[in-house]
Structure formats: structure tokens, C-alpha cells
Structure 1
Amino acid sequence: MTHANPLAPEAVVAVVGTGAMGAGIAQVAAQAGHPVKLLDNRPGAAEKAVEGIRAQFAKMAEKGKLTVEAAAAAGARLQPVSELAELADCALVVEAIVENLEAKQKLYADLEVIVGADCIFGTNTSSISVTAIGAALKRPERLAGLHFFNPAPLMALVEIVSGLATERAVAETLFATAAAWGKTPVHAKSTPGFIVNRVARPYYAEALRLAQEGAADYATIDACCREAGGFRMGPFELMDMIGHDVNFAVTNSVWRAFYNDQRFLPSLLQQELVDAGFYGRKNGRGFYDYREGAAKPVAASEAAQPVPGKITICGTSTVANALAARLAAAGVAYTQQVSADGRVAEADGAVLYVTDGRSATRRAAETGIGNCVLLDLALDYAKSTRLALAAATQAEMAAVNAAVGLLQAAGFQVSRFADVPGLAVMRTVAMLANEAADAVNQGVCSAAGADQAMRLGVNYPQGPLAWADQIGVAAVRDVLANLADSYGEDRYRISPLLHQAVFAGRKIHD
């Protein structure tokens, strides 16, 4: 926990680079009470940014989010400047220039001979090593990452990133300052992707693999991630919104930075989109077609099936209890029994389990239960509106239809996937938790910091490690082990931190 004091409100803050990110950071600092100097090497850009920020303050006043006086005062604290020499009195210089190592190194090296000894350098880089940027400085200890998320005035998270030479006091001062600015800071170590851009990779990667394997179409995978997983956007619509040129470049950057670790392997599917120039919403085509007149994709849902003649809810797991409550609310009759093997329900011959990372076909072969039907993970089975399932190749169609009918009677839209290991939400959450656990295990951040970063930085419905605790760390470990066995790839290797939690019989957050 940090105990440093934030920068005093009268401390001058400079923002170099006045694009969307730089202007957003300047807005945050000015609203917090600091005099803010804006510098850009493009003629007129700093002046234009100041005008834009002042217009934002005026809008906030119109909406009652700021008083007219406060908006005017915040706007008056903004000053466009044209020379680095004008930053001599700054206590903090934040750069939000092009993502280029040499450009950032030169900027801060030039500033070193201008600013005072106590001036802090805060780079907003999202992908370049803070250690590498600092290597060109005479005093690299004054440099740390101050990574905001776009749009900076709205997004709560700020990653405070320490390079190898960063003084702890500098990181703590930035932490306290970000908190004073109304943000939620988290400490991170300078490793590829920091926290968010590293831990988020599986959200895209597993969806891309599912699509490449023909598990379901894009709209159906997206719908399951939203309606069962609770994610704000599905992975394909999110990649389309970010832009494939950007998203694919970040994935490649992280993959190369980790020396081609298979866990971060880029997708040929996304490479094809980039090669075609289909970048997503920004130019009209990505996974979806955004051109005028294009049909809006619809998730695939199973046709209505009759309510099974005999429904049995098995055990008292979260899933079983939710099914029982939903059936009761719908006035559907069922019986209950204990669950000896993890099954959650039976319906006219079908036996339903939550996926454990094996395919339904493999599970059927290993258990001798031919009519094996697997359910995907849901954030909250009591409230979810959609659920994915997969059936064993051996399963009789009547049994599969009975399983669909049971879930429909409980109020779910049902999406049937091809029989892929781990389905969509389960394998994605397991991999997110695994990556977060590895980041914690490698000292990049704390468990609380990892969860906070993913909730606030990318709006996940729950922190991945808290989610693993909810599912059960042993269950997550089993899903990963079964995925690794199914694919025979190092991609699904299990984080030592997860193993330790399982062996200790503890939750990650205990």
C-alpha cells in the first residue's frame, strides 16, 4: 500500500502529445486543479486540444457535472506551449506521443536538461518497456509508466508501471496523484502488456480458436459471452470496435515480447482480416459487415423443444440450484436426487454436466454415458438468458433435444456448439484466470490489482481470479489440464499459482 503524498494541486503538469489520449489526460489533470501545459509538435495541435477540452468542461457544466465557475477555472488552467523549454517549471511531464521507443527516449532525454531534479516523468505507453525508455536517461529512476485507458476522463483505471530503475517513491507519488485525480491506480511491473493488455489476450485468442474450429459462428460466440458470461461485449464485436490493425498489432507485440510463447500466439483468422484491410467498424468490414444495408447477424438458438417428460435435478451445486429455482418459477415439475459424479440434471435419458474442459464425446467414452450433454459456464446461472451446450457424438438426438427442452423450460435461449473442449465461456474464463495468476506469480501485480485492472480497464464483469475462486480453483485447474491434454499444447499450461492454491486447499484471494 502506498503512503506517498500526491502532487500538490499547484504543481504544474505537462502533457506532450495532444491526441485523444493526451488531451484526455490533460483534461483530468486540469479538472483536478493543476496548471497544465500542452505541447505538440504539430502546428496548432496544442491550441486545438485546449479548445476541445474547454468545450468538454462547458458541456459538463451544462449537464450539471461541474459548476459554471469550476468549468471556467479548469479551462483557464490549460496553457498551450510551443517549446520544450517552456516546461522547465513542471513537476510532472506525461508523454502521450507515438508508440516508438526512440521517440520517447529522445523526448525525455531532451527534457532532462530542462526540468528540475524533482520532476517526474510519466509515460503513457501501452506496449513499450518502461525499463527500455528509461535506459536512455541519466536519471531513469524518475521515470514510471502512467498508463491511462481511453477515454481517459471516463475510464477509472490507471496502471502505475515501474521499470527496473524506477524509484519506489516515484511510483508511489504517481499512485497517490492518480488517486487524487479520482482514478483507481494499480501498481504493475514493466513486463510485456503490463496487466490489462497481457491478461486480456485470451478473451480474443480463445474466441478466435473456437471460430477457426467451427465451434459456432461469430454472433453466437459473442452472444454467449455477453448473455451467459456477462461480458459487456463479445470478443468479435470488441475486436471490430478496437480495429483489427490495432488489436492484431498488440497481440503480435506481446507474443514477440514473450519470445513467441504459444499462450499469446496470433490467429491466422485475424491475420486474414488485416491482410484484406477489413479492420472493423472504422472502415465498414471486420468479422461483421457494417456497410449500409448489411444484414445484422443473429445468434443461433435451438428450435423450441417440448418440456421433457421426466426431469431430475441432481445435487446442490450452483447450477443445479439455479435450474431447480428457474423450473419451479416456470411451474415445471421435477424431482431431485444426489449427484454422485458431478451431473447437474437428467432429462429423458440425457445426462447434463458442466464442461470440465473435455469434449462431450471424450467424456461419454470415458464414463460410458453415451447421452452426455455438456453445459457452458455462466456468470450467474440464476439470471443468464442464454446457455451454450455441446453433445457427445454418441448421444441420441432425442436425448439432446430433451436437454435443450429442459434448458428452454428453465428460460434459457440455447445455443448448440460443435463438440469443442471447454465450450466458450468456461475455457475463456479459465485462460483469463490462468494468465492473471501467472502475472501475479511473476510479481507483475497483486491478485487484487489484477482483478481491479481487468474490471476497470476492460469492464470485465468480475476479476478473473475472483471468478476462479467462485468456480473453484480445482475446477479451473481441471479445465486447463483437460484443454492441454486435448490440444497437446503448451498454451494451456497451468500457472504455478493456481497449482499452489489447489494443493493448499485455498482460494487465490485467501
Structure 2
Amino acid sequence: MSNALKTSTIVGIIGAGAMGVGIAQVAALAGHQVALFDIDAATVAKAITGIAANLARLVEKGRLDATAAAHAQERLIAVHQLAELRDAQLVIEAVAERLDVKRKIFAELEEHVAKTCILATNTSSISVTAIGATLKIPSRLVGMHFFNPAPVMALVEVVSGLATSADVAKAVYETAAAWGKTPVYARSTPGFIVNRVARPFYAEGLRLLNEQAADVASIDEVMREAGGFRMGPFELMDLIGHDVNFAVTESVFRAYFNDPRFAPSLIQQELVNAGFLGRKSGRGFYEYGPNATRQSARIAPPTDAPREVRLFPQSGVIMRLQQRLLNADLVTTAMPEMERTDGAVAQIDDAVLRLTDGRTATQCAYDMEHDNVVLVDLALDYAGSSTVALARARQCSDSAYAAVVGAMQAAGYSVVPVADVAGMIVMRTVAMLVNEAADAVNQGVCTAADLDLAMEKGVNYPVGPLKWADEAGVTLFNTVLKNLCAHYGEDRYRVSPLLAALSWSRASWHAHDAVDRAA
């Protein structure tokens, strides 16, 4: 039997900003009468008019039936006092991210609504436990975190504070599902799931820029075309707004008692100080506007194919790169098993091509006692990727490096040259995403299945971090992180206990979920 709220129940929305309006539209389309409140009556009237315009556009585009749009519009009513929400069975707060403001609203609301009314907060960063601590019935408060724009984004994080009733969380979860959303359960910890696990996507990009690994456009290109992400980190930060993105990073950093994994970037702070907030201000990492010129990634110029390519025995995702070399008729022979070098992909003329493992190419060259070492970055799918990033050891000769570039180009890749930094771009970023995901699961924030679902639906990742780890190999990311930690000597790159444990046991994340449920 479903615990979802019946469509005959009234849903109250507090706050007529972008999030409140989006949630109101979702609830009205799902069949509920929606009472929309804001302290500014004009804002509420404007919001309802805006929803009507949104529904009309959906009808024009053929995405919504005209009758359904008309009925949804009829279900929206403006209210001007919290007392007018007395008959609501669910009230969702979507106001400013301030604990004192949210507590004040819920304290007043409790005086008017029934004891059975569920109170939900759309907070993205404030502790649900802290918000509910001053309520008379804290068990009825739950986080119902939508993502912007709410009518479009599928994910809803259902966040339980220490006092939240399991029945309340379940009712909100099933209601979100009935509204056509994809809900996931989360425990109230800083950043919940998405805003916590996504931090390395921005942080590693910023750190790579700070280390001059490549320029902004080149890093974005590699993350999109090799990593499979819809946007690179700098494009995405410009879209979100640096003031918003930096504030979330600062909030998570403080909430985790200045854990270096979440440290903000001085580069982004400077952008905020300058007012270069991204698209909304006309300038961020990129410039915007009718006369703006888009930066282009640095792509290696065409180079002759090598004389000889010999493949090392390999397994896993790197075999797809080797298959591209085979398909291009570049491979002259396979190396015998006894000549296998861990991580080595191919001998290309005088160079050895290796998959990055968190060390620099120069360190790999030293360890191998071979000057001409070139590293290739991770790709989501080497079979379909259009781009790869390469980094060369400092002592690698120009001719040896050119042979590798020529081989990659002959295999159909555009090559982005990257400075010799530990972990390169995609590998380093994904390793940190996997690590943060593993820690969130290990700490009971959510299940492995919900974590991957949240990252795919909440920020449109091409695949959940834990699924990616399963496909590429948990041991690979464990090795990368240990090497990054050794290289930098920082706790930032410490390996999650769960990632380390699964690397040894070779068990799956879903097996961990099953054990957790059984316990």
C-alpha cells in the first residue's frame, strides 16, 4: 500500500522564488491544490502568472495537454498568511538558506497546521536536524531537496534528521515518486548526497588549473569528450554562479571541520571578489555576451603515425583503447606475457604508453628506468571517445612523444597535451568522486544504489561514481588515490576505508548494501 499523499490533499509552498515556483508547478501538475505563500503578495501573484506562462509554453511545445495545463493552473491559489495553510497536509519551505529564518517560519507554522501535517524543507545545505530541533513535533520535519529547475530535474533527496520519523520520510519519498520524480533517501549530513559527492568535480578542476596542468578550455574539453560529462567543471561553475558554488563549498568545508578534501579555491574566491560570477554577470572563467569570443581547447597538431606499435597484455577498460589501435591497423605485434609492465598499454616506437595511475609520467619513467614514458588519461569509454589527454615525462624525447601523438590521432582521437601533473584530469577527478562516494556510503549517508542514482539524476553524471569504479576496477582507483596521497603528502587524497576494503575483497558496492540491510 502506497504512503503517498492523496491528490485530494492540499500542499502548501512557502517561498515564491525560483525553487518554490518550480515545486508548486510540479505539485499542481500532479493533481494537488497548491497554496503558495510569500511575505510579498506581489511576488506570489507574479509567481502564479509565471507558472501559467510556463504551462502555456509546455502546451505549445506539445509536452503537455492543454486540459491538464488548465486544471493545474486552477489548482494554484495565493495565500498571504501562514494561517491560511491550516488545511495543508504537506508544507514545503523554500526560502533563504538561513537557519534562523527557517526555524522562525516552522515555529509559526506549527501553530496553524494540524499535528498530522508533514513539514518539509528544501534546504540544500542546512542540517535538517538543526532546523527541526526547536519544533514541538520534530519527528514530522523532513528534507525534500529538489534540484533546479524543479519541473525539469528528476532527483529529490529525502533527507532525515535525527528526529525524523521513518513513516514521514517514506510518505515524502512515495509522494515524490507519485509526482514523477526520482527520490533517494539520505541522512542529514553536510551536503547530503549530491552537494557533498560533487565537490571534487569542481575542486580538482580548480586545483589542476592552479597547477597549470592545462588551460580552462582544455580541461573542460577533456572532461566532456573523454570523461563523458555534459559540461566541464569551469563551464558548470560559470552556469551555477561562482557566488553560489563558492558558498556551498565554504559551507561544506566548515561543516566538516575544515577537512582538506573540501577546501575552497583561492582562484574561485578571486572571481567572486571581482564580481566575475559567470553567465549571470557576463564573465567568469569564460566571457559571455554577443561579442564574446569562446576559448578553444589546445589540440595537438597533426603528426605522422609511428613505425611500430606493440601491445602489452591488458584487461579491463584499457583494452578498448588497444582495440582502437588495432582497428587503425597500427599494431605490428603483441608483447609476450613475460614482458608485461603493470599499467603499460603499448610500446610505440621508442615510447611506452601507460594509463595514468596517480603518479607523474616523470616518476613512472624513473621507476621503469625508461626515459620515454607517456601517460594517457582515463576515458569513460575509449571505444567511443573523441579525445584523449596525454602527458609526457620531462626526459621524454620530442620524437618519442610525437610517435604516441601520431598513434592516437591515427586511432581517431584528438589529443589534448597536459602538463606532467599527478593523476592527470579525468582519472584524478573521477578517483576523488569515487572516494567521496565510497565515504558517503561507508558513513551511512545513503546506499550505494541511491548514491549512483542521485549523481546521475541530480547532476547528470554519465554514470554513477560507484558504477564507474566497478567498470574500471576498484583497485585502480585505490592505487591512484594512494599515489596521489604519496605525491602531495596531503590528507586530501586519503583513501576511503570502504574503497580500500572493497579493493582487497573485490566485492561489489551492492553487496555492501545487502550486508548493511541485513545488519
Matching residue's letter, 1:216: A
Describe the shift of the 1:125–1:320 C-alpha distance in structure 2 as closer, same or farther (beyond 3 A).
closer
What is the Cα deviation at residue 97 of structure 1? 0.7
- Are the equivalent residues in 2 in contact too, given 1:320–1:345 (CA < 8 A)? no
Aligned to 1:40: 38
- Judged with a 3 Å threshold, the aligned counterparts in structure 2 of structure 1 residues 111 and 338 are, in CA distance, closer, same or farther, namely farther
For 1:226-241, list aligned pairs within 5 A.
226-241=224-239
Report the equivalent of 1:392: 393
1:509 aligned counterpart, secondary structure: helix
TM-score of the superposed pair, with normalisation by structure 1: 0.98
Q: Distance in 1 between matches of 2:63 and 2:297?
A: 39
CA contact (8 A) 2:313 2:334 kept: yes
Residues 71-90 of structure 1 mapped to structure 2, 5 A cutoff: 71-90=69-88
Q: Is the 8 Å Cα contact of residues 317 and 344 (structure 1) preserved in structure 2? A: no
SS of 1:344 mapped into structure 2 = strand
1:281-430 equivalence runs, <5 A: 281-318=279-316, 320-338=318-336, 340-342=340-342, 343-430=344-431
- How far apart in 2 are the matches of 1:504 and 1:33? 49
Matched, 1:272 2:273: no
* Aligned-partner Cα distance in 2 for 1:319–1:111: 55
Give the deviation of 1:4 after TM superposition: 5.0
Q: Which residue of 2 aligns with 1:66?
A: 64
Contact 1:223 / 1:234 at 8 angstroms: preserved in 2?
A: yes
Q: Alignment partner of 2:294: what SS?
A: coil
Cα distance between partner residues in 2 of 1:70 and 1:329:
53
Instruction: Identify which of 94, 102, 105 aligns with 1:107.
Output: 105
Deviations 1:66-102 (A, max 9, x none): 2222111111111011111110000000010111111
The TM-score normalised by the length of structure 2 is 0.96
Aligned residue identity for 2:35 = K
Report the secondary structure of 2:151's partner residue.
Answer: coil
In structure 2, the CA distance between the partners of 1:362 and 1:324, relative to structure 1 (3 Å rule), is closer
Matches within 5 A, 1:2-151: 4-151=2-149
> How many Å separate the matches in 1 of 2:124 and 2:50?
24
Shift of 1:265: 0.4
Say whether the 8 Å CA contact 1:12–1:35 is kept in structure 2.
yes
Cα pair 1:313 1:320 within 8 Å, conserved: no
| Offset, 1:282 | 0.8
CA distance in 2, matches of 1:325, 1:472: 19
Q: Residues 330 and 407 of structure 2 are in contact (CA less than 8 Å); yes or no, is this contact kept in structure 1? A: no
Identity %: 57
- Range 329-338 or range 15-24, more displaced: 329-338
Q: Deviations over 1:135-167 (max 9, x none)?
A: 111111000000000000010000000001100
The residue aligned with 2:435 is: 434
Question: Which segments of 5 or more consecutive residues in structure 2 lack a partner in the other structure?
Answer: 512-519
Per-residue CA deviations over 1:413-437 (Å, capped at 9, x if unaligned) read: 1111110000000010000000011
Report if the CA contact (8 A) 1:451-1:464 is conserved.
Answer: yes
Query: How far, CA to CA, are the matches of 2:475 and 2:318 in structure 1?
Result: 19
C-alpha contact 1:32 1:180 (8 A) present in aligned 2: yes
**What secondary structure is seen at the aligned counterpart in 2 of 1:271?**
helix
Please state how far the C-alpha of 1:393 moved relative to its aligned partner: 1.0
Tell me how far apart the structure 2 counterparts of residues 130 and 329 of structure 1 sit (CA, whole Å). 54
Tell me if structure 1 keeps the 8 A contact 2:176–2:182. Answer: yes
Tell me the SS of whatever aligns to 1:66: coil
Determine if contact 1:313/1:323 at 8 Å carries over to the other structure.
no
* 3-state SS in 2 of match to 1:485: helix
CA distance in 2, matches of 1:146, 1:282: 27
1:129-278 alignment to 2 at 5 Å?
129-278=127-276
Cα 1:53–1:291 change in 2 (3 A) is closer
User: Does the C-alpha gap of structure 1 residues 123 and 434 become closer, same or farther in structure 2, counting only changes over 3 Å?
Assistant: same
Residue 330 and residue 67 in structure 1: after superposition, are their counterparts in 2 closer, same or farther (change >3 A)? same
Residues 310-342 of structure 1: CA deviation (Å, up to 9, x unaligned): 111222434553234323444445322345113
The separation in 1 between residues aligned to 2:373 and 2:196, in whole angstroms, is 36
Distance 1:333 1:345 in 2: 9
CA contact (8 A) 1:436 1:464 kept: yes
Paired amino acid for 2:506: G
- In structure 1, runs of 5+ residues without a counterpart are none
Residue 43 of structure 1: how far off its partner (Å): 2.6
Secondary structure class of the residue paired with 1:56: helix
Where in structure 2 are the equivalents of 1:407-486 lying within 5 Å? Answer: 407-486=408-487
Q: CA deviation at 1:207?
A: 0.6
Letter in 1 for 2:21: A
Cα distance change on mapping 1:338 and 1:182 into 2, 3 Å? farther
SS at match of 1:470: helix
Q: Distance in 1 between matches of 2:492 and 2:64?
A: 49
Q: Secondary structure of the residue that 2:423 maps to in structure 1? A: coil
After superposition, what is the alpha-carbon deviation per residue over 1:247-273, rounded to whole angstroms, capped at 9, x for unaligned?
A: 111100000010000000001111111
Q: Distance between the aligned counterparts of 1:75 and 1:299, measured in 2?
A: 46
Query: Shift of the alpha carbon at 1:216?
Result: 0.3
| Contact 2:311/2:331 (8 A) holds in 1 | no
Moved more, 442-451 or 49-58: 49-58
Aligned residues: 508
Deviation sequence 1:2-48 (CA, Å, 0-9, x none): x7510001010000101111000000000000010000111311121
Q: How many Å separate the matches in 1 of 2:187 and 2:311?
A: 47
Alpha-carbon offset, residue 169 of structure 1: 0.4
Residue 514 of structure 2 is matched in structure 1 by none
Distance in 2 between residues matched to 1:47 and 1:176, nearest whole Å = 30
Structure-1 residue corresponding to 2:515: none
Maintained 8 Å contact 2:312/2:341: no
The AA in structure 2 aligned to 1:497 is L
Q: CA deviation at 1:352?
A: 0.5
SS of 2:510 mapped into structure 1 = coil
- Supply the RMSD in Å over aligned alpha carbons: 1.3
Q: Secondary structure at the match of 2:379?
A: coil
Separation of aligned partners in 1, 2:509 and 2:260: 25
Task: Give the superposition deviation at 1:292.
Answer: 4.0
Deviations 1:265-322 (A, max 9, x none): 0011111111111111111111112244332100001111100011112224345532
2:311 is paired with a residue whose SS is strand
CA distance in 2, matches of 1:384, 1:338: 28
- Alpha-carbon distance in structure 2 between the residues aligned to 1:140 and 1:338: 66
